[in-house]
Amino acid sequence: ASTPRASGRAGIRAICFDLFTLFDPRSVVDAAKAVVGDQAAPLCELWRTRQFEYCWLRASAGIYTDFRQVTRDALDYATQARGLTLTEQARESLIDAYSRLEPWPDTHAHLAVWRAAGLRLAPLANYSPSMLEALIDHAGLSSSFDALISTDAARTFKPDPRAYALGPATLGLARHQIAFSAFGGWDAAGAKWFGFHTFWVNRLNVPREALAPGYDATGPTLAELAEFVGV
């Protein structure tokens, strides 16, 4: 982890989160095991990769469909590539698993501390509104946030600047008053380019992206993010 500088944190009044800094995306693998057995891990890895690639392609081309449809399309590709056939019920069950992710062990406690400290909190996610609401409700975190921000409102996906702009617009703050908690290195780069104070929560210890400047600081858990925002 890099040590964040005290300078640059002054004036932060809110945190916007990529969902996977709060929820473990690997939870989907457990759901997939009940459907495809030993194929679950490779299927889900390919599925998630295509999921993000389809978001980026659609944002770049300006051809929008919501995240649930993107998730379905990516699953269709992944199952075909792995030589699998799913019933419609199985497909819906796997897609719904993205709305039943398990929170990381430190999620509830840190959200409570930040909320008590007066920071405004909001996920800023590619999830469709219905998926986002279902996920937060399932985790019992509805009272933890000031807003649930879906990029669907801008009909695009991160890292399109219009997606990040929903944070300041929804919270009524300037971008320099918001810290962004990124799970992916690409998202950290996009948020930093937009103008957020950006912390990369590198939960899975993956290499940094060669996308300068990338982020202000990084660490493996929300404890380091708490140090970064000073709470």
Contact 106, 223 (CB under 8 A): yes
Active site residue 18: yes
Q: Count the Cβ atoms, other than its own, within 10 Å of residue 213.
A: 10
Per DSSP bridges, beta strands 102-103 and 23-24 are antiparallel
Contact 47, 78 (CB under 8 A): yes
Instruction: Give the residues across from 110 on adjacent strands.
Output: none
Amino acid occupying residue 113: V
Which residues, at least 6 apart from 192, have a Cβ–Cβ distance to it below 8 Å? 180, 198, 213, 214, 215, 216
Report the candidate in 35, 62, 67 with the shortest Cα–Cα distance to residue 152: 67
In the DSSP assignment, the letter for residue 70 is H
Q: What tokens were used for 159? A: 């890292």
Q: For residues 67 and 151, what is the distance between their CA atoms, to the nearest angstrom?
A: 9
Q: Give the residue numbers marked as catalytic.
A: 18
